[in-house]
Structure 1
Amino acid sequence: MAKFVLAGKADCPYYAKAELLADALRRSLPNFRVHNISVLPDEWKEWLESTCQRNGWKHDESPLVWRELVEQGGKGMLLGGFSDFLDYCQDYYGITSDMSTDVAETIAAENLETRSSLAAEELRRPSLTQPLHVWITGALSSTCQILIPSLLSAEAFPGVAAVALHLLDLEGDEEDMQRLKTEAEDLALGVLHQVTVHTNLDEAFHEATVVLLLDDFAEDKGDETTEDRKRRAMRMCERYREYGRLIDGRASRQVKAIVSGDSFVNLRCSLLVENAPSIPSHQFVATASQLESEARAVVAEKMNVRPSDVTGVIVWGNISGSSVIDLQRAKVFNYRGAVRGPASFSQSVLQILQDRKWVETEFQQQVRRRRAFVVSKAGRAAGISAANGILRVLKAWHGAYGQDEAFSLGLLCTGLFNLPNDVLLSVPVTCVDGKWSVLLDVTVDGKLQEELKLCADELRQEKEI
């Protein structure tokens, strides 16, 4: 697949010729893609110098044409100006341009008028629309890239007219971040107000109304030592303490923050709570939806049904550490057993299985192995299921589900189930009118109490690193 970028002064006739030539290629070649960047004349020099300096190119005229290396990755390949692009198209595709200079100048004048109008509209738009400011950390993760299109849809933020997307990755390469920005803009979704990219904390979390925290310092190397893990945890703690302080000082008082990932999920969320004292703690949550979905998939495989046929699974404890998968409320639909009913008929999973040993041992182990298996095969975190879990929590937070829909969510559980007040644990909850409520009609027996105490002790030890 070929993807070209054409950039030029809005009033440049050669830029107009390059645009028309690219349009001809697009009509002739189904896999040919092009992204146009029209720059106002008084901004062109600064834009060109900045782009060439970032990429190590030398070019001093309009237009600037380069090819994105879609398959290989890495920075783009500079082609040059219009004549270079024309030669390239003639040699590789057998397509040329016969546009006269008069026609090109007319189109260039139209381009300038259009670009000037767009610039004026961009300046005017902020005064007309108050966007929802969504910040995502760890923006170059696969989870973020899967998540972006759904965040710009009505299902994630019903009733929201505009979303300002702010992408932050402190380890991110500037070119990769700009490419992500371009891809998000190329979605051309009406709700998208603007996209900004950041590789430092100078502007982080300004006016944030939603914060999705995806940089979790996960480590996939099997030879990590105790000291390596300790250093990794210390880096994570330092970063999330700073995140908490910045959110406390810069974000909206109604901010909603969701922590997701494969490591230190509860701890990362609790560090935000501790370092953002002016924001209510219930506005910070750690999602266990991914682990909950993986547990449903294991149960479904055991019972020969679809994962969507299994509901009511609960995740207790430390989401990315010592957790307990509880099936006391789990139901199964469409199970082909001795007792059957209509599509709405459900049965208790525990009553059907009647295998306490499998539930308490092998089942718990299979759930933990499932994500490790996906990571080992894909070579990266399980982005699709993580993104789906975040969306499910966001939709609940914005009223998409009723009070009968239960979730597993990490939050502070002050005064509940005899749990420690200072530890953030995953518990079953519902969401009504944008507020989370812990489910109380569950059985927390002595065995589960002991397991939750062990989870709390584990989290306290993580804090002391």
Structure 2
Amino acid sequence: MTSVRHRFVVLRSPSMAKEPVRVLVTGAAGQIGYALVPMIARGVMLGADQPVILHMLDIPPAEEALNGVKMELVDAAFPLLKGCIFIIMWFKFQMVLLRCVVATTDVVEACTGVNIAVMVGGFPRKEGMERKDVMSKNVSIYKSQASALEQHAAPNCKVVVVANPANTNALILKEFAPSIPAKNITCLTRLDHNRALGQISEKLNVQVSDVKNVIIWGNHSSTQYPDVNHATVKTPSGEKPVRELVKDDAWLNGEFITTVQQRGAAIIKARKLSSALSAASAACDHIRDWVLGTPEGTWVSMGVYSDGSYNAPAGVIYSFPVTCGNGEWTIVQGLAIDEFSRKKLDLTGAELTEEKELAYSCLS
């Protein structure tokens, strides 16, 4: 007797030409998460033609707020939030409904099958807490989430850590998710990069899109080094170096650097809340350029696993200038580093080494 083979045909509308990408946002009920998830759903992160399935994770006390965010996403009717596929078999029609938004307090459910993870959730430093206390809390959180990603995320999952201390949280995640390639675990310094671009555009009264190739070196902290020595501005007569146009080295080596380093604190003072909109936008920029590529001749700043380039300490997550293509980042090599910059790179590198030692001591 001849057996009948089932044939499976998946039908999609033109808007579903691409397979949906599963994007995890941790801390999704918080300020940054609330700003970030609609940006992802609207295509800011992955493009206007890329369907997404959102996975949102938060802690049990935030469960009600998290479900509220889910309801708003449904109410917003974002076309890119996809969840339905149709499967046709011989003699049978079946519709399988896939959730377009997963909102959960269970880390395993949140991490299952995700292609991109944006780690916004973390334990913030509170009044009276010692640095080691907050580090210990975050080590515990990122150890747990790393294990879930390790076991349940899609192969080649890309990760960006936003929660502070971002560089060291990313390093802990790397240590406890060994099957995820080291190149796929990064931290967000694009917010600082964008802040630097904004300061230069305001100083010169030019469009921010005309400024490129600033660099954030090192840690996402007050020791980071915003560097404009290789940055340029598009002018009617061609690209000009930022230093040549600003004509104020005292400002570039002083107030400009401290403004970028302390911008987060200034926003907290002004809003009474930490940066949310700008952080969410930067996270989208980070992933978009990583996945879709950077323009020719342009680099961006990413916290990546250091190989010792520019004599930065190896084995930490350190912010470098990178270009991206085919879903991979590459550190820009061969840039001249003057004596002033060398001291700044070493200072922020020393802080990252100290943070690494502190984090590892919390593991024992």
Q: Same fold judged by TM-score > 0.5?
A: yes
The answer to whether 1:184 aligns with 2:90 is no
Match status 1:291 vs 2:192:
yes
Residue aligning to 1:355: 248
Distance in 2, matches of 1:417 and 1:272, equals 24
Whether 2:203 is the aligned partner of 1:302: answer yes
Q: Relative to 1, partners in 2 of residues 1:392 and 1:369: Cα closer, same or farther, differing over 3 Å?
A: same
State how far apart, in whole Å, the 1-side matches of 2:114 and 2:61 are: 21
1:241 aligned onto 2:134: no
Deviation at 1:430, TM superposition (A): 0.4
- SS at the partner of 1:428? strand
Contact 2:321 2:331 in 1 (8 A): yes
2:123 maps to which residue? 217
Task: Quote the Cα distance in structure 1 between the aligned partners of 2:316 and 2:78.
Answer: 41
Code of the residue aligned with 1:206 in structure 2: it is T
Tell me which of 195, 201, 213 is aligned to 2:107.
201
Q: Work out the CA distance in 2 between the residues paired with 1:283 and 1:154.
A: 21
The match for 2:336 among 440, 443, 453 is 443
Change (3 A) 1:323 1:212: same
1:399-445 CA distances to partner (integer Å, 9 max, x unpaired)?
25334221000001214222222111000000011110111131124
Distance in 2 of aligned mates of 1:172 and 1:363: 40
Letter matched to residue 109 of structure 2:
E
Partner amino acid for 2:334? Answer: D
Task: Report 1 or 2 for greater relative contact order, CA contacts < 8 Å, sequence distance ≥ 6.
Answer: 2
TM superposition shift of 1:390: 1.1
Alpha-carbon displacement from aligned partner over 1:246-283 (angstroms, at most 9, x marks no partner):
2111111210111124x311111111111111111111
* Deviation of the 1:164 alpha carbon: 1.8
**Aligned-residue offset at 1:446:** 4.3
Aligned with 1:230 (options 119, 122, 132): 132
Cα deviation code 1:95-130 (max 9, x no counterpart): xxxxxxxxxxxxxxxxxxxxxxxxxxxxx99xx996
Q: Aligned match of 1:328 in 207, 229, 246?
A: 229
1:320-344 deviation digits (Å, cap 9, x = unpaired): 241111101212245xxxxxx35xx
2:223 touches 2:261 (CA, 8 Å); kept in 1? no
| C-alpha distance 169-352 of structure 1, shift in aligned 2 (>3 A) | same
Q: CA deviation at 1:379?
A: 2.1
**Higher deviation after alignment, 382-391 or 300-309:** 300-309
Q: Distance in 2 between matches of 1:445 and 1:171?
A: 50
CA contact (8 A) 1:314 1:325 kept: yes
Partner of 1:254: 156
- Shift in Å, 1:138: 0.8
Q: Give the secondary structure class of the aligned counterpart of 1:315.
A: strand
Inter-partner Cα distance in structure 2 for 1:397 and 1:152: 18
What is the SS of the residue equivalent to 1:204? helix
Task: State the distance in 2 between where 1:147 and 1:421 align.
Answer: 32
Task: Give the direction of change, closer, same or farther, for the CA distance of 1:432–1:130 in structure 2 (3 Å limit).
Answer: closer
Q: Contact 1:216 / 1:265 at 8 angstroms: preserved in 2?
A: no
State how far apart, in whole Å, the 1-side matches of 2:253 and 2:148 are. 42
Q: How many angstroms apart in 1 are the aligned matches of 2:293 and 2:329?
A: 13
The 5 Å alignment of 1:410-425 reads 410-425=303-318
How far apart in 1 are the matches of 2:62 and 2:302? 33
Residue aligning to 1:84: none
1:312 aligns with 2:208: no
CA distance in 1, matches of 2:122, 2:231: 30
Are the counterparts in 2 of residues 257 and 285 from structure 1 also a CA contact under 8 Å? yes
CA distance in 2, matches of 1:305, 1:322: 28
1:392 aligned residue (273, 285, 291): 285
Q: Are the aligned partners of 1:138 and 1:213 in contact in 2 as well (CA < 8 Å)? A: yes
Query: Does the aligned pair in 1 maintain the 2:25–2:37 contact within 8 Å?
Result: no
Look up the SS of the partner of 1:398 in the other structure: helix
Provide the C-alpha distance between the structure 2 equivalents of 1:455 and 1:215, rounded to a whole number of angstroms.
Answer: 24
- Code of the residue aligned with 1:316 in structure 2: it is W
Counterpart CA distance in 2 for 1:415 and 1:370 is 28
**Aligned equivalents of 2:334 and 2:158: distance in 1?**
26
Please say which of residues 203-212 and 163-172 is displaced more in the overlay.
163-172
* Pair 1:331–1:252, CA change in 2 (3 A): same
Alignment partners' CA distance in 1, 2:179 and 2:118: 19
What TM-score do the two structures reach when normalised by structure 1? 0.65
The TM-score normalised by the length of structure 2 is 0.82
1:443 alignment partner, SS class = coil
Name 1:271's counterpart in structure 2: 172
Query: What is the alpha-carbon distance in structure 1 between the residues aligned to residue 110 and residue 246 of structure 2?
Result: 49
Structure 1 residue ranges without an equivalent (≥5): 1-123, 335-340
Match of 2:35 in 1: 146
Q: Distance in 1 between matches of 2:322 and 2:40?
A: 23
Q: Conserved in 2, the CA contact under 8 Å of 1:266 and 1:320? A: no
- The alpha-carbon distance between structure 1 residues 189 and 315, as it changes in their structure 2 partners (threshold 3 A), is same
Q: Deviations over 1:195-230 (max 9, x none)?
A: 1211232423111111001124334x6xx34x4332
Write the letter of the residue equivalent to 1:182: M
One-letter code of the match for 1:140? A
Q: Which has the larger radius of gyration?
A: 1
Whole-Å Cα distance in 1 between the matches of residues 102 and 124 of structure 2?
A: 25
The aligned amino acid for 1:131 is P
CA distance in 2, matches of 1:129, 1:364: 42
Which deviates more, 396-405 or 189-198? Answer: 396-405
Alpha-carbon separation, structure 2, partners of 1:136 and 1:309: 31
Aligned residues: 327
Unaligned runs of 5+ in 2: 1-10, 84-99, 359-364
CA distance in 2 between counterparts of 1:353 and 1:175 reads: 50
Structure 2 CA distance, aligned partners of 1:158 and 1:333? 26
In structure 2, the residue matched to 1:406 is: 299
